[in-house]
Structure 1
Amino acid sequence: MVAEQYLPPWFSVAPMMEWTDNHYRTMARHISKHAWLYTEMLAAETIVYQEKNLDRFLAFSPDQHPIVLQIGGNNLENLAKATRLASTYGYDEINLNCGCPSPKVAGHGCFGVRLMLDPKFVAEAMTVIAANTDVPVSVKCRIGVDDHDSYNELCDFIYKVSSQSPTRHFIIHSRKALLNGISPADNRKIPPLKYEYYYALLRDFPDLRFTINGGINSIDEVRAAQNEGAHGVMVGRAAYNNSWSMLGNVDTAIYGAPPSGVTRRQVLDKYQVYADSVIGIYGNGKPSLRDLVKPLYGLFWGEPGNGVWRRKADSAFHHCKTFKSLMEETITAIPDSVLDSPVVDPYSTACVDKFANSKNLLPLPYTLKEEQEEQLLYA
């Protein structure tokens, strides 16, 4: 499978640890056929050390295409081997995580967003990754780290990585990261969003492709970003917490496909076949019923009966042995009108365009300093 077989990544679901696992991606693909799905970040070391057990970490069903594997790491040898091992699974793109601010990753692990401080290494890593796969490669990063947060520093990173490696696609989380001990959750809220940095990159690097990420919570906002020229839009928690409304509108609103007419009952029927085929396959009850039900919580966000259904499901985990039996016991909490209605486009012409002012705030154009040109010439 190659990426050219699919429509472009105008919309993608962000890689999220313990969220965008095989279970979520299976459910998501029953709702949207065209959204690009990302795996959770997998450390290169995990792939290398689990070489005899890779299906648990890397296998996915063919209908999950288009799908991107995100890896993390700071060891070139392990990144090369991990990419080579993963290449047999047929991912459509390999992405390097240069944006995670978690202390376990950017702190003790010394990778994730900390790699933004070493663009030379990132370029070497991307070259190594590209040499071990036949599919495109990309980088997901922030707009800065701690006090290294100027637009010029961001551009230096983009320029060095793109000029010294085959990388042509960058996913830009439009917040900087703070590595002073705040939590990953606070790193998604406290640093201000600077969408103007993203739109300035479109201006200053016209030969590259950029996907915007961060703070985008509705299909309205996805379309607004595109209307302002975004090459692609990546959505994280909104695509998980409100999966029905968000993913259900991607194919029609973003890709122009006719309405599928799919209902939540149909999604659940298809997902049940998957869930009951994988429950407990890894031993020790893994994956558990709870693991398999978790991705479904976003199906009924804001709908009548959602709270009752979740409480009934929580109780049923203690005695149900199959996904089918759990759903038969609990799904009556959700009205038939919710289960059997196709998705409704929430588009509102009154929506405030949160990106409209970004182009009035653009930083000055990036210019490569003479000493940088010399460094690159002899790099």
Structure 2
Amino acid sequence: MMDWTDNHYRTLARLISKHAWLYTEMVVAETIVHQKDNLDKFLAFPAEQHPIVLQIGGSNLDNLAKATELANAYSYDEINLNCGCPSGKVAGHGCFGARLMFDPEFVGDAMSAIAANCNVPVSVKCRIGVDDRDSYEELCEFVDKVVSKSPTRHFIIHARKALLNGLSPAENRKVPPLKYEYYFALLRDFPDVQFTLNGGITTIDQVNASIRQGAHRVMVGRAAYNNPWNMLGHVDSEVYGMPTRNSSRRQILESYQVYGDSIMGQYGPSRPNVRQLVKPLLNLFHSEPGNGLWKRKADSTLRHCKTLQSFLEETLEAIPDSVLDAPIGKDPCSEEAHFADMDSLLPPRYTSLTNSSHESSVLVTAST
């Protein structure tokens, strides 16, 4: 979610949901290391955003260690290494992102270095495979090696493989088939590890269906950006069993406007512009009456307005009060996720016989 889950979006997300865990956009380790005098630009966040996870990318052990040490001062709740991004800008330069899955030994060393330089849990986000290395056994070997070499006990599993040649990043989110059975087999074969399910989950009903099926946690990416009100608005009540934080989109916009105009006055010449602050709002009225007119007004208003307050005053007349003041309701796009009989789909059981020092392991596969 580079260029998407920035501070502005995360502020909006936290206004909608108090309890959802938020992830930063991926920050390259070298960026952190070489920007020591301007770290706040890349790492600072309001305290209200907790719980929050920093996702870093990189393939140099020294830089990953240094970046983690610098980031540790910002009190993130977890540090995550990206081993799943299929973008050519990532996978093809410096050999990180999804390409790291080709080298589980290195990822284990990297996670050990990251963990040694922070005082919070560490995790890995990965695919179920890359190119032709996409068997369940190879996925298990990746997890087993990382676990045996580091304190990593949390993996976020995007249940598609990545194809590094021939597909764009957008196509890599849609074309390779979802194999949820790989995820659920990991739950069976690594009972001491936490796994988060990612990929293809677009509604809160699908989140709950995944959890009922046994998923430890569920990560939602673009659906939470493309439809934040209907996706995040249900999280606190339906997942955590807690009251929702704000009762209407009008209330959320009032709070977000205070945030936006305050930081514009705080940072001087380097302050964010109105367009950057408006970007996370553009999907707040997804599929609602007035949404199309509001976006057209937004496009013209952004050419001249200087504050978030003036932008909202000029554009929100396009949205009916009945929409602005409506409480969160049933997502009209909701549908139950369909999980087939997983017992019949799970790949053969994978077992790992690891010695007590966790320095080496013997891998054994056996059919159930």
Same fold (TM over 0.5): yes
Query: What does residue 132 of structure 1 align with?
Result: 117
Distance 1:112 1:150 in 2: 19
The 1:207–1:351 alpha-carbon spacing in structure 2 relative to 1, beyond 3 Å, is same
The equivalent position to 1:296 in structure 2, one of 281, 294, 310, is 281
The equivalent position to 1:186 in structure 2, one of 168, 171, 183, is 171
The 1:374–1:312 alpha-carbon spacing in structure 2 relative to 1, beyond 3 Å, is closer
Q: Using the TM superposition, give the Cα deviation of residue 77 of structure 1 relative to its aligned residue in structure 2, in angstroms.
A: 0.6
Aligned residues of 1:144 and 1:176 also touching (Cα < 8 A): yes
Query: What does residue 181 of structure 2 align with?
Result: 196
C-alpha offsets along residues 268-324 of structure 1, whole Å, 9 cap, x if unaligned? 011011111223866666522111101012210000111111111110111111000
Correspondence 1:222 to 2:202: no
Q: Using the TM superposition, give the Cα deviation of residue 86 of structure 1 relative to its aligned residue in structure 2, in angstroms.
A: 0.5
Structure 2: 5+ residue runs without aligned partners?
Answer: 363-368
Correspondence 1:332 to 2:354: no
C-alpha offsets along residues 77-136 of structure 1, whole Å, 9 cap, x if unaligned? 100110011111110000000000000100123100111110111011001100110000
Amino acid at match of 1:376: S
Distance 2:59 2:26 in 1: 14
SS at the partner of 1:101?
coil
Distance 2:272 2:347 in 1: 48
Amino acid at match of 1:225: S
Amino acid at match of 1:363: P
Q: How many residues align?
A: 360
Amino acid at match of 2:32: I
Distance 1:265 1:50 in 2: 38
Q: Using the TM superposition, give the Cα deviation of residue 233 of structure 1 relative to its aligned residue in structure 2, in angstroms.
A: 0.2
Q: Using the TM superposition, give the Cα deviation of residue 355 of structure 1 relative to its aligned residue in structure 2, in angstroms.
A: 2.0
Superposition map of 1:56-135 within 5 A: 56-135=41-120
Distance 2:27 2:268 in 1: 21
Distance 2:73 2:336 in 1: 45
Aligned residues of 1:103 and 1:181 also touching (Cα < 8 A): no
More displaced stretch, 105-114 vs 149-158: 105-114
SS at the partner of 2:284?
helix
Correspondence 1:18 to 2:3: yes
Q: Using the TM superposition, give the Cα deviation of residue 346 of structure 1 relative to its aligned residue in structure 2, in angstroms.
A: 3.2
Superposition map of 1:15-54 within 5 A: 16-54=1-39
Aligned residues of 2:246 and 2:252 also touching (Cα < 8 A): no
Distance 2:297 2:290 in 1: 10
Distance 1:223 1:254 in 2: 7
Distance 1:150 1:280 in 2: 53
Identity rate, percent: 67
Q: What is the CA RMSD across the aligned residues, in angstroms?
A: 2.0
Structure 1: 5+ residue runs without aligned partners?
Answer: 1-15
The 1:231–1:155 alpha-carbon spacing in structure 2 relative to 1, beyond 3 Å, is same
Distance 2:296 2:265 in 1: 23
